[in-house]
């Protein structure tokens, strides 16, 4: 109980810093994911349309995700320098795989009869993509987004090691000061962000799925 | 060219050390996954028989929360309770592995056609026999694919365990960062990737075989 | 839907690209960047630099803490992302220079001389004379263990080493010259196991009994706090780590007033004083800003 009150006092005393860290954290994740969507969705569509390059696209994004986060950031730092933008690029790489893969799978899963029907009423390939394939694969994309954002929130926590800030500031300085209060003051909001992202995107996923259902 | 010969020299000089880090990495990931499998597979099968939806959902939610705790934070939180080194690392990774394993096993058993179960009942199988002779074998492809994804993730997360003193390939990466040695960073990274890819490939072929059967 | 996502993302990216880079202070001076490692002495020095520079010039200083390792700080200094940092003379042996350019020595003067010339040549950095404290590696064991076995020097440890779990920072295991492998050559024994980890966790580990000895940093108050004793380095093996402020030459040329401030930091804080400051931060959990301010006022360096 004592620990909880101490934690409470600490959070209240440092609320403005904690809020700004939370905000930085969220921004890093949003930017990273936005970049990943911007690049990942077209890549996923490409992979689905041109089956020949699909293995190449999928396995290279897969390898990106397997790079240990500490090493990835150390390497990125050599090229992009310190701080926020380097972290955003790192998060972009980490959330690419779920987005590319799920877009790919989603489009592949679109029922042949539906696309045939689209072609039958004279849709161009572009229209087919915009009006049928992309909307129908949205639930999959949402699921990918959900996985990607939970990973991104976690990876963003090691941001301070490369000077990027975010809630990792509390966690890492908590480790180096051996202060459990600081660790929890960073870990709890970070976990909450992940849980909320997971829940909100999960709801979107369910909604898009429900809309798809005949 | 000089780069290559430098790198070969690096390996000759350090190969003992490199294998030690690799071995630690394998040990940490393997034990974490093994325990996670031992817990989740029976639990998930039990959950498919459970009538109480509330408990079922709570178990899923708890496993989900573990998975959303940022890796570095989970390692850090473990320290006050478990000290440093191998123990907190294995337990943190174990907690991470729970959800995907639980979800896949549950989905696999759940997806079995009721007809199959009914006919087994008709043939006079006891509940235990049904689990071992029918449910597990039929759900095996699902279970395997859960194990496959989990293993790949756990291997990648294990690199952060070096921060809490558990060693593993992350130790090589951290040493490289601290000692300003690109070779070490590169080697730690490549070995971690290779390990994940090899296991992924291995499980994929096992999965294929199981599917054929 | 797609269009909205697309435009949203484009907008965000534009925002990132324009969002960075605002570097003039309220008084019309510049905003300089100071980078600190994960441990407390460079963080405290960051506050010292910040408060003195802001007091005596129109410029401001921003501090970035918890950078993983000093080579990353040097890289950032080299690229102009950081302007100042606190580094230790032994850093010169940390694989930054070709082997034929540098000669390993445990002599403090030789070490800092080499650091000053070599970092100036290769990275265009000004390595000031020592701040006055040093923070080098030492082999440290619990006091109880030392008294029961009557240990004074690192050599005395040889009998027990094969049963000992040792905690060290990750780089020590692998570094050349004064790292573990050369330690084994020099002292002629090996420990049962050496584990690399985040520095502060070593203390946690030895307090909890998971570790039997650690490569503590001599300035750390945790050594006293956890009843540990430093064993004498009787083979004179460990390199000296005298702390210095390091700054970019280019900046010092353009802003000589900053150089004057940094000069005044030379020889101003002894090891004992730094230990006391770190104690305030690490053990009494006070902020680095407050602790540094109090110290500077006491010393008469700040009004």
Residue carrying structure tokens 């849980």: A195
Q: How many other CB atoms are found less than 10 A from the CB of residue C67?
A: 24
* Distance set, CA A207 to CA A60, A181, A202, A211, A213 (Å): 31, 39, 9, 6, 10
Kindly state the DSSP code that residue B161 receives in the 8-state scheme: G
**Residue from A212, A75, A70 nearest A136 by CA:** A212
- Strand pairing of C213-217 and C228-230? unpaired
Which residues on neighbouring strands pair with residue C35, listed in sequence order? C64, C85
The model's pTM is 0.84
- Tell whether A31 lies on the interface with C, counting CB pairs under 8 A: yes
Instruction: Please check whether residue A28 lies inside any domain of the structure.
Output: yes
Residue carrying structure tokens 């496993």: B63
Distance, first Cα to last Cα, chain B: 49
Q: Identify the band that residue C138 occupies on the pLDDT scale cut at 50, 70 and 90.
A: very high
pLDDT of residue A189: 94
**Residue from B36, B94, B38, B44 nearest B69 by CA:** B94
**Residue from B113, B163, B157 nearest B139 by CA:** B113
Asked: is B20-212 a CATH 2.60.40.10 domain? The reply is no
pLDDT of residue C252: 95
Q: State the Cα–Cα distance between residues A112 and A117, nearest whole angstrom.
A: 9
Domain that holds residue A138: 19-212
Q: What are phi and psi of C133, to 5 degrees?
A: -115, 155
- Tell whether C230 lies on the interface with A, counting CB pairs under 8 A: no
The more confident residue out of B164 and C141 is C141
| C-alpha gyration radius of chain B | 21
The chain-wide mean pLDDT, for chain B, equals 88
- The sign of the CA dihedral C121, C124, C129, C132 is negative
Burial class (CB in 10 A: 0-12, 13-18, 19+), C117: middle
CB-CB: which of C68, C95, C170 is closest to B171? C170
What's the pLDDT tens digit per position in C229-279?
999 999 999 999 999 999 999 999 999 999 999 999 999 999 999 999 999
What's the pLDDT tens digit per position in B73-118?
888 888 778 878 888 899 999 999 999 899 889 988 888 888 888 8
Contact residues, chain B, for A150 at CB < 8 Å: 67-68
**Domain positions in chain B:** 20-212
Give me the CATH topology for the region C31-134+240-299: D-Maltodextrin-Binding Protein; domain 2 (3.40.190)
- The sign of the CA dihedral A35, A100, A140, B140 is negative
What's the pLDDT tens digit per position in C171-186?
888 888 888 989 999 9
CB-CB: which of B17, B165, B184 is closest to C167? B165
What's the pLDDT tens digit per position in C74-87?
989 998 989 999 99
CATH number assigned to the domain covering C137-230: 3.40.190.120
> Does the pLDDT of residue B188 top 80, yes or no?
yes
Contact residues, chain A, for C199 at CB < 8 Å: 176
Q: Decide: B82 and B20 in contact? Cβ < 8 Å.
A: no
Contact residues, chain B, for A173 at CB < 8 Å: none
Instruction: Please check whether residue A150 lies inside any domain of the structure.
Output: yes
Contact residues, chain A, for C282 at CB < 8 Å: 177-178
Contact residues, chain B, for C171 at CB < 8 Å: 174-175, 177-179
Tell me what the mean pLDDT of segment A203-212 comes to.
82
| Chain B interface test: which of C137, C181, C197, C213 (most B C-beta within 10 Å) | C197
Q: What is the CATH number of the domain that holds A114?
A: 1.10.3720.10
CB contact under 8 A, C16 and A176: no
CB contact under 8 A, C201 and B84: yes
Instruction: Please check whether residue A5 lies inside any domain of the structure.
Output: no
Domain count, chain A: 1
Tell me what the mean pLDDT of segment C41-49 comes to.
96
What are the DSSP calls for C241-291, one per residue? -EEEEEEEHHHHHH-HHHHHHHHHHTT---HHHHHHHHIIIIIS---HHHH
**Domain positions in chain C:** 31-134+240-299, 137-230
- Tell whether C5 lies on the interface with A, counting CB pairs under 8 A: yes
Q: Decide: C219 and C131 in contact? Cβ < 8 Å.
A: no
Q: Decide: C95 and B180 in contact? Cβ < 8 Å.
A: yes
CA angle A39, A44, A49 (to 5 degrees): 130
Q: Decide: C51 and C297 in contact? Cβ < 8 Å.
A: no
Instruction: Please check whether residue A123 lies inside any domain of the structure.
Output: yes
- Tell whether C152 lies on the interface with B, counting CB pairs under 8 A: no
> Does the pLDDT of residue C47 top 90, yes or no?
yes
> Does the pLDDT of residue C7 top 70, yes or no?
no
CB contact under 8 A, C94 and B179: yes
Q: State the Cα–Cα distance between residues C157 and C140, nearest whole angstrom.
A: 11
What's the pLDDT tens digit per position in C11-35?
555 555 544 444 566 677 899 999 9
Percent with pLDDT over 90 in chain B: 34
**B193 → chain A, closest CA residue:** A66
> Does the pLDDT of residue C5 top 60, yes or no?
no
Task: Please indicate whether the domains covering C31-134+240-299 and C137-230 agree at the CATH topology level.
Answer: yes
The chain-wide mean pLDDT, for chain A, equals 89
- The sign of the CA dihedral A79, A81, A85, A91 is positive
Q: Flag the least confident range among A19-33, B38-52, C167-181.
A: C167-181
Q: Identify the band that residue A123 occupies on the pLDDT scale cut at 50, 70 and 90.
A: confident
| Chain B interface test: which of C195, C204, C241 (most B C-beta within 10 Å) | C195
CA atoms within 13 A on the CB side of A135: 13
pLDDT of residue C24: 66
């Amino acid at each position: 109980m004592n620990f909880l009150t101490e934690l409470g006092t600490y959070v209240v005393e440092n609320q403005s810093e904690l809020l700004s860290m939370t905000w930085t954290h969220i921004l890093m994740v949003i930017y990273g994911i936005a970049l990943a969507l911007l690049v990942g969705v077209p890549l996923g569509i490409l992979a689905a349309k041109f089956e020949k390059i699909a293995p190449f696209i999928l396995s290279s994004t897969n390898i990106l995700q397997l790079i240990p986060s500490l090493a990835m950031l150390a390497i990125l730092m050599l090229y992009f320098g310190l701080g926020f933008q380097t972290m955003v690029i790192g998060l972009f790489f980490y959330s690419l795989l779920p987005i590319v893969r799920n877009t790919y799978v989603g489009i592949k899963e679109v029922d042949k009869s539906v696309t045939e029907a689209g072609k039958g009423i004279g849709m161009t390939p572009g229209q087919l993509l915009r009006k049928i394939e992309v909307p129908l694969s949205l639930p999959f994309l949402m699921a990918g987004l959900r996985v990607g954002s939970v990973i991104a929130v976690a990876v963003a926590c090691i941001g301070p090691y490369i000077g990027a800030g975010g809630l990792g500031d509390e966690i890492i300085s908590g480790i180096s000061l051996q202060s459990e209060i600081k660790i929890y003051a960073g870990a709890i909001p970070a976990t909450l962000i992940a849980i909320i992202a997971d829940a909100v995107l999960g709801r979107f996923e369910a909604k898009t799925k429900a809309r798809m259902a005949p | 060219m000089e780069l290559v010969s430098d790198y070969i020299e690096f390996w000759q000089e350090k190969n003992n050390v490199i294998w030690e880090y690799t071995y630690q990495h394998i040990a940490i990931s393997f034990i974490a996954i093994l325990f996670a499998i031992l817990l989740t597979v029976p639990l998930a099968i039990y959950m498919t028989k459970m009538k109480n939806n509330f408990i079922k959902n709570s178990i899923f939610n708890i496993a989900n929360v573990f998975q959303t705790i940022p890796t570095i934070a989970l390692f850090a939180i473990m320290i006050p309770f478990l000290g440093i080194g191998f123990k907190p690392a294995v337990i943190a990774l174990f907690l991470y592995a729970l959800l995907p394993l639980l979800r896949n096993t549950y989905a696999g058993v759940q997806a079995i056609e009721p007809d199959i179960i009914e006919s087994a009942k008709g043939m006079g199988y006891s509940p235990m026999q049904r689990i071992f002779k029918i449910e597990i074998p039929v759900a095996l492809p699902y279970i395997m694919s859960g194990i496959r994804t989990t293993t790949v993730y756990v291997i990648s997360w294990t690199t952060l365990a070096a921060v809490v003193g558990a060693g593993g390939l992350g130790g090589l990466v951290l040493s490289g960062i601290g000692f300003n040695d690109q070779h070490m960073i590169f080697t730690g990274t490549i070995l971690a990737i290779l390990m994940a890819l090899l296991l992924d490939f291995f499980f994929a072929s096992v999965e294929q075989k199981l599917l054929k059967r | 839907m797609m269009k909205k996502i697309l435009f949203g993302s484009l907008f965000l990216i534009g925002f990132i690209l324009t969002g960075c880079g605002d570097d003039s202070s309220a008084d019309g001076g510049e905003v300089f960047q100071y980078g600190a490692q994960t441990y407390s002495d460079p963080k405290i020095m960051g506050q010292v630099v910040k408060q003195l520079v802001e007091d005596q010039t129109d410029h401001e200083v921003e501090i970035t803490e918890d950078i993983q390792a000093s080579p990353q700080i040097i890289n950032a200094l080299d690229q102009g992302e950081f302007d100042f940092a606190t580094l230790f003379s032994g850093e010169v042996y940390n694989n930054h220079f070709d082997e034929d350019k540098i000669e390993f020595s445990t002599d403090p003067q030789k070490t800092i001389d080499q650091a000053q010339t070599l970092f100036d040549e290769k990275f265009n950095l000004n390595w000031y004379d020592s701040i006055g404290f040093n923070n080098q590696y030492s082999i440290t064991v619990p006091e109880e263990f030392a008294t029961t076995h009557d240990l004074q020097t690192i050599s005395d440890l040889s009998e027990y080493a094969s049963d000992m779990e040792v905690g060290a920072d990750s780089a020590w295991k692998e570094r050349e010259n004064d790292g573990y492998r050369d330690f084994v050559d020099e002292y002629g024994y090996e420990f049962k196991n050496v584990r690399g980890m985040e520095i502060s966790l070593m203390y946690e580990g030895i307090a909890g009994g998971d570790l039997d000895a650690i490569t503590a940093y001599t300035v750390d108050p945790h050594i006293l706090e956890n009843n540990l004793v430093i064993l004498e380095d009787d083979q004179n093996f460990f390199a000296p780590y005298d702390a210095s402020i390091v700054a970019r030459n280019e900046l010092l040329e353009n802003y000589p007033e900053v150089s004057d401030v940094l000069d005044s930091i030379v020889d101003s804080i002894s090891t004992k004083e730094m230990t006391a400051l770190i104690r305030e931060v690490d053990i009494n959990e006070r902020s680095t800003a407050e602790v540094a301010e109090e110290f500077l006022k006491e010393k008469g360096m700040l009004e």
